[in-house]
Structure 1
Amino acid sequence: MAGPGEFELIREYFSSRFQTGAQAGGVDSGVVLGIGDDCALLTPPRGKMLATSVDTLVADVHFPASADPYRIASRALRVNLSDLAGMNAEPLWFTLALTLPESNAAWLEPFARGLADTARLYGITLIGGDTTKGPLSITVQVTGSCDRALRRDGASAGDHIFVSNQLGAAAAALPIVLEEYEPSEVQQQQADAAFYFPEPQLELARSIGACASAGLDISDGLLADLAHICEASGLGADLKLDTFPIAELAQSMSADAALETALTGGDDYQLCFTVPAKYLDHLQGLQLPITAVGRMREARGIDCFLGGKPWQPRGTGYRHF
């Protein structure tokens, strides 16, 4: 039996789960007209900058096509929300472009439910999008607002480099997600959390926004993403790896492999940010889950040190091409 057509699909699985118009997200949501017309009509928050980002997730490239649709939806929205966190922006609205091999109710229902649950958790509203037939891919565009954007080009030589929480969990999770070996129950839980339910660091971004000079979210691996800060700010960096925060899931590897995974593995969706020395006491007083990992410098390039000696990683991070 054929599934619903495009407009029936939108109405049944998305419009029904996301309120439209002024009711979407409450009276201050800024949504004048949401799902169901040629365009959404939006009122930007007064005096705020808008931050917008878009990402496409392709089946069997960014997630297994056979994965639970609820988890796929959670991942698709969370990784985009991480971009807002990387700019210190508050979530407002998002659009969804969904390409499906077929209109399949058994897949669409949990996907739409996962999307709605995640949107509700982070206070962001679906305002429109597109559906089409083809190989499974999911494109999400998010929009947020901010007073002081956390940009990549604001670092200065001597600024301290910090990362949030631990790194390497998502890269270590990938063989488990791909069912390449049988993990323990704890490892399976950690892998699912890291890959399908990464936590956008929105709250932490709010806390550091007043003292950080530059920052971004870590999606392609710390070395690759720190290189973006270095390039945009015209600087280089020294990384001290002796107390580097390696996620528990990665610690089951050899010491060198665990460190390599934490430095170059993608999909962590933590924050990397720089802080001038004058704000260190203030930052320490906030008692945040962050670790100092190095300093910015005038000379270009990134050098790693372990035990006071140079340490050379084998890779530099995830590359799309």
Structure 2
Amino acid sequence: MPSAEDDFISRYFAPIAGEGGLKLKDDAALIAPPAGCELVVTTDGVSQGRHFLDDAPASIARKALRVNLSDLAAKGADPLGFVLTLALPASWDASTRDAFMRPFAQGLGEDAAAYGCSLLGGDTMAIDGPLTLSITAFGAVGKGCMVRRTGAQPGDLLVVSGTIGDAALGLKLRRAIEGDQRGATKLLGLSDEHRAFLLDAYLHPRPRNVLARALRDHAHGAMDISDGFIGDFAKMLEASGVGGVIDATAAPLSAAGQAAVALDPALQRTAVTGGDDYEIAAACSVQAWPALAKLGEQAGVPLTVIGRVGQPGESIMVEPAAFASLLSSGSYSHF
């Protein structure tokens, strides 16, 4: 006789599981990497109140999957599938669980299909705590072709995809709307269009998986920007054992981001340190830059040069001088 957990899985997750999930009737999934490829594995966990607020269930599902897809993109890997660990508050009754799970599973399934990263399985449980979930995603990349964080080379250009700061500004705006003192009330003066853009950027990151091949072919090093523009570029330089210069004012801002900074110039610091961008930080040679930039343009994701890699033993610097202090606080801390 099926258990309550078996019924839960068959109702919400079996309909969106991929072939490797074996209809979620086994104790494990089965992955067959493409010939000549290696597996890339990444995992991220999120919990309510710390990584997301009282958001729509579908938005929670999409963000949880997309932050993992962003890690795969930065490694030049193509998605294969993912497993989900879902811990629901024990205080939820059956009606509350169903009201959450129906849109959650729908949003998760739609994103899994859109990004070609199918559900393979996972685990579910009830906990005496907030809603918490963790996704482990699997990708494939040709042997020896993974783009490592440690690969930046002296003389390389530092390059970023998309725009920076939208999610952090969106969180500031949301808090202002809700009357939270951590918000930025000047953002309430933005146009409806710009407000909607920033709020959506916080809820729904856009992983740059369309750049995976371009990174494999033209980047020496890369990582995704999740903890802050300045801090994550500094992490890549440090991991690569080199110095470098990061130009904070070169960080590309969206039209909404520019409008926010025009209302309150102090918000430029929020933009370059706030995190949740899920853009790509990359290092490529001067010679490879034109090809990489062209591929980004063709993919609809503009790339911008924001600095240069220095030599081993040199310092990591942030310019201009007014932003230099952000190097020590330019990254979100999980602890």
TM-score if structure 2 supplies the norm length?
0.85
What is the aligned partner in structure 1 of residue 6 from structure 2? Answer: 7
Shift of 1:300: 3.9
Gap regions ≥5 residues in structure 2? 180-187
> CA contact under 8 A between 2:72 and 2:78: conserved in structure 1?
yes
Of 119, 122, 138, the residue aligned with 2:115 is 122
What is the aligned partner in structure 1 of residue 99 from structure 2? Answer: 106
Aligned length: 305
The alignment partner of 1:311 has SS state of helix
> CA contact under 8 A between 2:171 and 2:202: conserved in structure 1?
yes
Which amino acid in structure 2 is aligned with residue 311 of structure 1?
Answer: F
Shift of 1:52: 0.6
What is the aligned partner in structure 1 of residue 269 from structure 2? Answer: 260
Which amino acid in structure 2 is aligned with residue 176 of structure 1?
Answer: L
Q: Deviations over 1:196-237 (max 9, x none)?
A: 211110112322321100000000012221122112210111
> Matches of 2:139 and 2:296 in 1, distance apart?
26
> CA contact under 8 A between 1:218 and 1:271: conserved in structure 2?
yes
Question: Superposed, which structure 2 residues align to 1:222-233 within 5 Å?
Answer: 222-233=229-240
Shift of 1:81: 0.6
Q: Share of identical aligned residues, percent?
A: 35
> CA contact under 8 A between 1:36 and 1:128: conserved in structure 2?
no
The alignment partner of 2:333 has SS state of coil
> Matches of 2:288 and 2:322 in 1, distance apart?
29
Root mean square deviation, CA, Å: 2.0
Could you list the runs of 4 or more consecutive aligned residues of structure 1 that deviate by over 4 angstroms after TM superposition? 181-184
What is the aligned partner in structure 2 of residue 146 from structure 1? Answer: 141
> Matches of 1:317 and 1:256 in 2, distance apart?
20
1:287–1:38 distance in 2 versus 1, CA, 3 Å:
closer
The alignment partner of 1:153 has SS state of helix
The alignment partner of 1:274 has SS state of strand
Of 316, 320, 325, the residue aligned with 1:302 is 316
The alignment partner of 1:109 has SS state of helix
The alignment partner of 2:213 has SS state of helix
What is the aligned partner in structure 1 of residue 257 from structure 2? Answer: 250
> CA contact under 8 A between 2:40 and 2:138: conserved in structure 1?
yes
> Matches of 2:32 and 2:40 in 1, distance apart?
14
The alignment partner of 1:253 has SS state of helix
> Matches of 1:84 and 1:18 in 2, distance apart?
20
What is the aligned partner in structure 1 of residue 73 from structure 2? Answer: 85
What is the aligned partner in structure 2 of residue 311 from structure 1? Answer: 323
> Matches of 2:168 and 2:272 in 1, distance apart?
10
> Matches of 2:212 and 2:251 in 1, distance apart?
20
What is the aligned partner in structure 2 of residue 27 from structure 1? Answer: none
1:175–1:8 distance in 2 versus 1, CA, 3 Å:
same
> CA contact under 8 A between 1:155 and 1:214: conserved in structure 2?
yes
The alignment partner of 1:203 has SS state of helix
> Matches of 2:303 and 2:195 in 1, distance apart?
25
1:284–1:16 distance in 2 versus 1, CA, 3 Å:
closer
> Matches of 1:46 and 1:199 in 2, distance apart?
29
Which amino acid in structure 2 is aligned with residue 263 of structure 1?
Answer: V
